[in-house]
Amino acid sequence: MNIVVDIPNYEPHRWLEPIQRALSEHRVFDAADLNGVGLHSIDAAVVGWSDSYRLDRFPNLRFIQSTFMGVDRLLRDPTIDPAVPIARMVDPDMPVSMTESVLAHVLFAHRQLDVYRRQQSDAEWIERDQPLARDVTVAVLGMGELGRMAAAALRSVGFRVVGLSRTGAAVDGVEVSTSIDTVLSHANIVVNLLPLTDETIGILCARTFAMLPVGSVIINLARGAHLVDTDLLDALSRGHIRHAILDVFTTEPLPAVHRFWHHPQVTVTPHMAAMSTPESCVPVIVENLRRFDRGEHPLHLVDRNIGY
């Protein structure tokens, strides 16, 4: 099997080299250094985050392994033959990392630290009523690998957790619904962990904000295109949404002129809520390439029909 690794700005000694060591009977090439390599000889690709993967360079490609959990860019890429199976990354550390981010952001919102930060900038000493977590409802949009672990952690702190999924499959301790209207109607804090698909694009918008109680907080950790930026700015200015914590943006890096950067009711982080490390991803990549080579079903294949 011949494998190409196409991860922009990566460190080969942390990705390509350990893959090659584990698959010593196969050949692993760097996409940036394919001189002398017959492009038709490439069977499988390991790809990171790119605007265009140019995978049509490899006419005999039969398997794509993503190093990202979200594969929305891969599914939109016209250089990828829809018949080639794509596996997304599901490594053991990513849900742990995301759960830490969710806890940090939800507790920041719950303890009103956004409000106290604004008060501090005006040297205002005002103590505010503070409910306990048990009196607060957190809506987790997406009950997948990330949403389920985050929901369990939020439950352990005492929050009431309601969850949104496509199928409504039961999750311990979470009131799961397939209706976003139901999920949002009592939520004080919303955490978005949905995949970006035709159904979920723009899901955080004026219509859905209107379902939330006044003073709610939005935490978007999934994809920028889930959010309609102008609708959020409007809801913030009216106070309907008190604060937004945003890790992902339609254009990344977030352009310097974007209003989110200096908005007092917005917290911006640079798409870092959960990061892949080669140490946790490489074993998953190797396992899936071995499965592909043996003609077995790779793990975590994406269903193009539902978009995730």
How many Å apart are CA 140 and CA 163, to the nearest integer?
Answer: 5
Q: Of the listed 110, 148, 223, 242, which one is catalytic?
A: 223
How many Å apart are CA 179 and CA 256, to the nearest integer?
Answer: 36
Q: Which is nearer to ligand NAP, 32 or 301 (CB)?
A: 301
HSE of 291, CA atoms in CB hemisphere, 13 A: 17
x/- contact string, 176-205, with ligand NAP (CB under 6 A)?
Answer: -----------------xxxxx-xx-----
Instruction: Give the interface segment with ligand NAP, choosing from 13-21, 107-115, 217-225, 254-262 (CB under 6 A).
Output: 217-225
Select from 86, 221, 225, 241 the one that contacts ligand NAP (CB under 6 A): 221
Distance set, CA 179 to CA 126, 227, 305 (Å): 38, 18, 20
243 is catalytic: no
Q: Which is nearer to ligand NAP, 147 or 278 (CB)?
A: 147
Task: Say which amino acid occupies 141.
Answer: L
The answer to whether the CB of 224 falls within 8 A of the CB of 197 is no
x/- contact string, 244-283, with ligand NAP (CB under 6 A)?
Answer: ---xx----------------------x-xx---------
Closest distance of CB 123 from ligand NAP, Å: 34
223 is catalytic: yes
How many Å apart are CA 97 and CA 135, to the nearest integer?
Answer: 26
Select from 75, 114, 138, 147 the one that contacts ligand NAP (CB under 6 A): 147
Closest distance of CB 1 from ligand NAP, Å: 27
Q: Of the listed 271, 290, 291, 300, which one is catalytic?
A: 271
The answer to whether the CB of 190 falls within 8 A of the CB of 141 is yes
Select from 44, 69, 74, 241 the one that contacts ligand NAP (CB under 6 A): 69
Q: Which residues contact 124 (CB under 8 A, 6 or more apart)?
A: none
- 3-class state of residue 139 by DSSP: strand
The reply to whether 144 sits near ligand NAP by the rule CB under 6 A is yes
How many Å apart are CA 2 and CA 272, to the nearest integer?
Answer: 32
